[in-house]
Amino acid sequence: MSHPSQEEIVRRLKSVEGHVRGVQRMVEEGAYCIDVVNQIVAVQRALKKVSGMVLDDHLHSCVTDALRGPDAPAREKVLQELMQVFEASGKV
């Protein structure tokens, strides 16, 4: 992962962490359920954005290197990893 990408991802994850703490506080204080759900959805969107950033970085570094390289097992490995990610996310 490139250093600027890593810094931005860490920054976003810290923001998500703070947001989750805020949602926890809302629950502890008995906030209106729909308000809590809306905040949970916002956290999920933020995590989805971070996930996309990590995947983008991976595609432009590790996957690209493996596909351009001479090592067939490395190519197969990155393709299998991508399939696992897509299957786990329900995209396949």
Q: What is the pLDDT of residues 44-72, one digit of tens each?
A: 999 999 999 999 999 999 999 999 999 99
Residue type, 83: M
Pick the CATH number of 3-88 from 1.10.10.60, 3.90.960.10, 1.10.150.120, 1.20.58.1000: 1.20.58.1000
Average pLDDT, the chain: 94
Looking at residue 4, its pLDDT comes to: 74
Furthest C-alpha separation in the chain = 58
Going by C-alpha positions, the residue among 89, 24, 30, 23 that lies closest to residue 55 is 89
What is the residue extent of each domain of the chain?
Answer: 3-88
CB 57 within 8 A of CB 5: yes
Looking at residue 42, its pLDDT comes to: 99
Residues 73-88, mean pLDDT to the nearest whole number: 94
Residues 13-33, mean pLDDT to the nearest whole number: 99
CB 26 within 8 A of CB 36: yes
Q: Is a pLDDT exceeding 90 seen at residue 3?
A: no
